[in-house]
């Protein structure tokens, strides 16, 4: 029996060449009307689906391939005599190769189409044929990616058939393809219908592989980068553009995410330096070069080999400073032309990363893998619930500015954490200790190591102080104001300690644990 290939594609890339090769190899080509027209125009003999089904395409093409004469040809188990007898009796010809890609739902959404057009671009017959072919992969080769056309043709020429292992791989790819397609539809309609159910009982998260990474957190771990098709028009570190330098690593992406999320908190020229997912220097200044110099001076030892983030396009003055020490990544909304040329000329391996849609919202959900499942939560985008002075002394206007600065920074430091700040720059950062007073001691030690004065500084704690010991310790070093969420049963003791030392204290009513 003559072999038959069914080709019905929305994306016509490479389809003419593929069909010609199959025809030359003796395959009969079956197509739906749109694809058939393109193939005929290029000299390829085609049998239209409607000729096989004996039924015209109806409802503007909504119904055309959903027919037993198509699906019988896809699903027939060739080594089952009863099935094959039924095919013969009903005049159904088996289909051996299926090339399908689906209506451009994702592209239709991205161009800003109205809901009716979006709905119309939900493919029905395509996924049905893909799934039927993939289910019957023992006998049918399903191709959903134009990149696979040449591979399929070369194997047919070399071996005369597609081997079972290849058919299995293509079937898996097909099931993943339809799963991704449906998950994108689900996510988009959740928003378009105004339902916005954040935590449904069943959740599929659409992700598409962007690149394989050299390795994961450590060389013995494999890793890849995936991007979200439904979040691709917003702020995205995953979709950032590496303009220059070595390939980005798994850890580089984590550090860039940490650095950019923090630097986005500020409007004035700001520099954030991150090492191992924690900030080691942050400063806000009137000019970008000054912001970088101040951030670097807060912990130049940790900054070596770090990630530097800016909230404005990098200029030439800043670029000259950035080449003075070894850095892994510079990340910014953009790079001015002369600054880019200077950095690329001076540092061959330095990664220069431009973040897509830097000014857009960081909204969305956070996902964290645990054994056997996933934890999902809102992103921590809010800053505080209230601004309540709870001590006898009110903070001065300058202290209020520093408290707000320190609060924005501490939100992005691993818990338990404290941040000491002065003149809108960090003085000492104490991240990730098991005791809050230990975090404070770490921050003080850092400040003293680099000769930074603590006198008149402010202190931020991302969670409440469980005891007064941290306040007593802060007072010893001249810290004059504290910001924290409050909420401890010992709040009165902590407030009393602040009053005894003449320290102003603000409660925010909002905790910012970061695990």
Q: What is the pLDDT of residues 269-301, one digit of tens each?
A: 999 999 999 999 999 999 999 999 999 999 999
Q: Mean of the per-residue pLDDT values for the chain?
A: 94
DSSP class of 147: G
CA distance 216 to 449: 33
Alpha carbon of 11 to those of 15, 154, 338, 396, 485: distances in Å? 8, 21, 40, 63, 54
Residue 1 has pLDDT above 70, yes or no: no
CB atoms within 10 A of CB 459: 33
- Residues designated as active site: 135, 276
Alpha carbon of 61 to those of 34, 35, 116, 350, 439: distances in Å? 10, 12, 15, 53, 65
CA atoms within 13 A on the CB side of 112: 1
Looking at the domain that runs over 4-192, which CATH code has it been given?
3.40.50.1380
CA distance 407 to 279: 13
Q: What is the mean pLDDT of residues 26-34?
A: 92
What pairing do the DSSP bridges indicate for beta strands 327-332 and 306-310?
Answer: parallel
Contact 294, 425 (CB under 8 A): yes
Residues of the chain with CATH 3.40.50.1380: 4-192
CA distance 360 to 129: 39
Q: Give the pLDDT confidence score for residue 195 in this predicted structure.
A: 87
DSSP annotation string for 289-330 = HHHHHHHHHH-HHHHTTEEEEESS-B-HHHHHHHTTS-EEEE
Burial of 159 (0-12, 13-18, 19+ CB in 10 A): exposed
Q: What is the mean pLDDT of residues 9-28?
A: 95
Residue (of 456, 450, 453) closest to 475 by Cα position: 456
Residue (of 506, 472, 301) closest to 402 by Cα position: 506
Facing residues of 356 across strands? 236
- In which band, very low, low, confident or very high, does the pLDDT at 55 lie, cut at 50, 70 and 90? confident
Element (DSSP H or E) covering residue 427: strand 426-430
Q: What is the mean pLDDT of residues 409-435?
A: 96
**Which regions of 157-253 does DSSP assign to beta strands (E)?**
208-213, 223-227, 236-244
Residue (of 283, 355, 285, 342) closest to 315 by Cα position: 342
Q: What is the pLDDT of residues 89-137, one digit of tens each?
A: 999 999 999 999 999 999 999 899 999 999 999 999 999 999 999 999 9
Contacts of 122 (CB under 8 A, 6+ apart): 103, 105, 185
Q: What is the pLDDT of residues 368-381, one digit of tens each?
A: 999 999 999 999 99
Is the alpha carbon torsion for 493, 494, 495, 498 positive or negative?
Answer: positive
HEC string for 228-246: CCCCCCCCEEEEEEEEECC
Q: Give the pLDDT confidence score for residue 146 in this predicted structure.
A: 95
- In which band, very low, low, confident or very high, does the pLDDT at 167 lie, cut at 50, 70 and 90? very high
Residue (of 119, 125, 127, 124) closest to 177 by Cα position: 127
Contact 414, 432 (CB under 8 A): yes
| b (16+ CB within 10 A) / e for 255-287 | bbbbbbbbbbbbeebbbbbbbbbbbbbbbbbee
Residue (of 275, 264, 259, 271) closest to 318 by Cα position: 271
What pairing do the DSSP bridges indicate for beta strands 504-507 and 481-484?
Answer: parallel
Please measure the distance between the N-terminal and C-terminal CA atoms of the chain and give it in whole angstroms. 63
User: How wide is the angle at C-alpha 279 spanned by C-alphas 361 and 314, nearest 5°?
Assistant: 65
Altogether, the residues listed in the chain come to a count of 515
CA distance 75 to 417: 60
Q: What are phi and psi of 100, to 5 degrees?
A: -140, 135
CA distance 95 to 74: 5
Q: What is the pLDDT of residues 321-360, one digit of tens each?
A: 999 999 999 999 999 999 999 999 999 999 999 998 888 8
Residue 233 has pLDDT above 80, yes or no: no
Q: Give the pLDDT confidence score for residue 232 in this predicted structure.
A: 62
Q: What is the pLDDT of residues 489-499, one digit of tens each?
A: 999 999 999 99
CA distance 287 to 370: 43
Q: What is the mean pLDDT of residues 67-82?
A: 92
Q: What is the pLDDT of residues 254-263, one digit of tens each?
A: 999 999 999 9
Facing residues of 223 across strands? 213
CA distance 266 to 309: 12
HEC string for 83-128: HHHHHHHHCCCCCCEEEEECCCHHHHHHCCCCHHHHHHCCCCHHHH
Topology of domain 234-356 in CATH is Cytidine Deaminase; domain 2 (3.40.140)
CA distance 476 to 208: 54
Contact 245, 372 (CB under 8 A): no
CA distance 212 to 197: 32
What is the CATH class of 388-507?
Answer: alpha beta
Residues of the chain with CATH 3.40.140.20: 234-356, 388-507
């Amino acid at each position: 029996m003559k072999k038959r290939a069914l080709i019905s594609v929305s994306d016509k890339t490479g389809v003419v060449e593929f069909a010609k090769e199959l025809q030359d190899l003796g395959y009969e080509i079956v197509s739906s009307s749109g694809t058939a027209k393109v193939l005929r125009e290029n000299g390829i003999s085609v049998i239209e689906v409607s000729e096989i089904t004996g039924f015209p395409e109806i409802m503007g093409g909504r119904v055309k391939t959903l027919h037993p004469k198509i699906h019988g040809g896809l699903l027939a188990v060739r080594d089952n005599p009863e099935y094959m007898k039924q095919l013969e009796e009903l005049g159904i010809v088996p289909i051996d190769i299926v090339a399908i890609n689906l209506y451009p739902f994702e592209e239709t959404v991205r161009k800003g189409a109205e809901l009716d057009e979006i709905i119309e671009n939900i493919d029905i017959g395509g996924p049905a044929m893909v799934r039927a072919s993939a289910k019957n992969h023992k006998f049918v080769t399903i191709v959903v990616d134009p990149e696979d056309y040449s591979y399929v043709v070369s194997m047919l020429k070399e071996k005369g058939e597609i081997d079972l292992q290849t058919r299995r791989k293509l079937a898996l790819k097909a099931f993943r393809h339809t799963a991704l397609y449906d998950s994108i539809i689900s996510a988009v309609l959740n928003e378009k219908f105004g339902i916005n159910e954040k935590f449904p009982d069943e959740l599929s998260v659409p992700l598409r592989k962007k690149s394989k990474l050299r390795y994961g957190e450590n060389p013995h771990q494999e890793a890849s980068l995936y991007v979200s098709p439904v979040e691709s028009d917003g702020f995205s570190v995953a979709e950032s553009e590496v303009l220059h330098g070595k390939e980005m690593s798994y850890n580089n992406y984590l550090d860039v995410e940490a650095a950019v999320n923090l630097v986005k908190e500020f409007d004035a020229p700001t520099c954030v330096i991150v090492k191992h997912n924690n900030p080691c220097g942050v400063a806000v200044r009137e000019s970008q070069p000054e912001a970088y110099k101040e951030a670097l001076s807060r912990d130049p030892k940790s900054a070596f080999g770090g990630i530097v983030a800016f909230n404005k396009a990098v200029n030439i003055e800043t670029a000259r400073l950035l080449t003075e020490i070894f850095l892994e990544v510079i990340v910014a909304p953009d790079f001015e032309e002369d600054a880019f040329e200077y950095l690329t000329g001076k540092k061959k391996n330095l990664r220069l990363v431009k973040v897509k849609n830097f000014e857009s919202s960081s909204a969305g959900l956070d996902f964290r893998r645990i054994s056997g499942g996933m934890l999902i939560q809102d992103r921590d985008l809010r800053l505080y619930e209230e601004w309540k002075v709870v001590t006898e002394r009110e903070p001065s206007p300058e202290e209020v500015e520093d408290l707000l600065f320190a609060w924005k920074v501490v939100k992005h430091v691993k818990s338990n954490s404290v941040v000491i700040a002065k003149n809108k720059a960090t003085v000492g950062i104490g991240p990730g200790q098991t005791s809050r007073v230990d975090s404070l001691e770490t921050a003080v030690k850092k400040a003293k190591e680099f000769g930074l004065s603590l006198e008149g500084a402010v202190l931020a704690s991302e969670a409440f102080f469980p005891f007064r010991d941290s306040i007593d310790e802060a007072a010893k070093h001249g810290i004059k104001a504290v910001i924290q969420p409050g909420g401890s049963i010992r709040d009165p003791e902590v407030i009393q300690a602040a009053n005894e030392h003449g320290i102003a204290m603000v409660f925010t009513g909002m905790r910012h644990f970061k695990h």
